[in-house]
Amino acid sequence: MASTSLTFRCPDEVLEAIDNLGKERYPAANTKHGCDRSKTLLDIMRAGIEALNDGSIVLPTPAENSQQPSNVRRVTSNVLSDSELEERITGIVERKTEQAKAELRAELLGESAA
């Protein structure tokens, strides 16, 4: 699989939630944050894209975003706390992991039966 580097600014509280998840899933003693952020972020992004595609989450439309002045943070009931965000991400990643395990099990059992 081809890879491209991606650089963006990330609020400290989001980065902390990412690192907390990463420490559970991909611990790494040789990093200052204690996890493999790349693997963690890929899991989060894959789960997020799938959730967006299946409609379980919805992003605000670009029109809603552009109506707000850039220097004003919009606070709505859709904003999750760090713990809520971490809990939802954990649930999604766990669900997707179980689905992937089941698919791999079925594929491997199918191969061994052939």
Which of 104, 103, 101, 94 shows the shortest CA–CA distance to 47?
Answer: 94
The pTM of the full predicted model, rounded to 2 decimals, is 0.52
Q: Are 20 and 33 in contact (CB under 8 A)?
A: no
Overall average pLDDT of the 62-80 stretch: 52
- Compute the distance between CA of residue 27 and CA of residue 19 in angstroms, rounded to an integer: 9
Ranges 13-17, 65-69, 90-94: which has the least confidence: 65-69
Q: Are 26 and 36 in contact (CB under 8 A)?
A: yes
